[in-house]
A = this chain, B = another copy of it.
Amino acid sequence: MNAAATNFERVAIIGLGLIGGSIGLAVRDHLPGVTTTGYDADPAVRKRAQERGLADTIYESASEAVHRADLVILCVPVGAMGEVAREIAPALAKGVLISDVGSSKQTVADALRAALPGREVIPAHPVAGTENSGPDAGFAQLFQQRWCIVTPPEGADPVQVSRLVSFWEALGAMVDTMDPQHHDLVLAVTSHIPHLIAYTIVGTASDLEDVTRSEVIKYSAGGFRDFTRIAASDPTMWRDVFLNNRDAVLVMLKRLLDDIGGMQKAIEESDGTALFDRFTRTRAIRRSIVALGQDDARPDFGRKDHDNG
């Protein structure tokens, strides 16, 4: 895949954390003819981005970074999208395509549409990440074998949609398109609720009086440690996700709470059959996730800590 395949010549990345930085590194690896420019509001991040080469040129303002770009990707927390869009609006080139990487799509689409009237805006969401954040967290392979969901607004130019799809495919992603409402519902299930529950359970365990924090840490290999990984994710990003995908998250949380209530009742009533049935049905979905290349097939995610003893 080369620059011609995506038809973009100059890609501006605004926000140089895990996702923005990974885009810059992936473009360098996979689209060597494409020039990247970058900006981050934090001077320390800009400095580190320069050192790591997250973009070809790092600018001191978002407006300078987007100047002459034909693709601008906003990689900031979803709550900051509108403000950044308003800031860059006057500096945008004619014919530029604006996209983003936010984890919720409906409110972001609304915010970008309001801030950038008359501009071509096609939001997107690469479903990829790690628990790390900041300019040191990104890596060029982050999007390999991961899905990127593009949510074109009604009336979007199909040529521009296709250019954006090709761009993400060039970075190694598989691309789906869907409407933003459905995206927000799907991601509430596959990402937002898991994060909310992980954050909560880790918080609950930290706050107990009858079980010490030291005990929680020592015996975390019983299952708890799995939850601490996503509960170590970026707090600003996740605050904004819950503020911006409130309705879908609350709908899905309600269903989960109903199901937890069912489990609670089965335990209270010592209903072993109900528990066994539930526990049996959940194995198949993991097998499918592994079979479709969305998780590591090795036991324990391939953790190597057993070798350190």
Contacts and interface: CB of A to CB of B under 8 A. Distances in A.
Which DSSP category, helix, strand, loop or mixed, fits chain A's interface? Answer: helix
Contact of A194 (B208, B218, B227, B306): B227
In which size bucket is the chain A interface?
Answer: 35 or more
Given A205-B190, A222-B190, A213 B285 contact: yes
A69 interface: no
A201 interface: yes
A255 B293 CA distance: 36
B145 A309 contact: yes
A239 B194 contact: no
Given A275-B242, A285-B216, A309-B144, A221 B172 contact: no
Interface string A45-87: 0000000000000000000000000000000000100000000
A115 B308 CA distance: 39
Nearest to A238: B279
A112 interface: no
Given A176-B218, A246-B267, A282 B206 contact: yes
A229 B256 CA distance: 18
Contacts of A232: 282-283, 286-287
B217 A285 contact: yes
A259 interface: yes
A268 interface: yes
Nearest to A279: B235
A110 interface: no
Contacts of A223: 190-192, 194-195, 198, 230
A226 interface: yes
Identify which of A191, A201, A268 gathers the most chain B CB atoms within 10 Å of its CB: A201
B219 A263 contact: no
Please provide the 7 A-B residue pairs with the shortest distance between their CB atoms, ordered closest to farther.
A144-B309, A191-B222, A235-B279, A194-B223, A130-B299, A228-B286, A301-B301
Given A196-B263, A238-B279, 20 more contacts: A131-B299, A141-B309, A187-B222, A190-B205, A190-B222, A191-B219, A192-B223, A197-B260, A200-B256, A208-B255, A213-B285, A217-B294, A228-B286, A231-B285, A232-B282, A232-B286, A239-B275, A250-B268, A302-B302, A302-B303
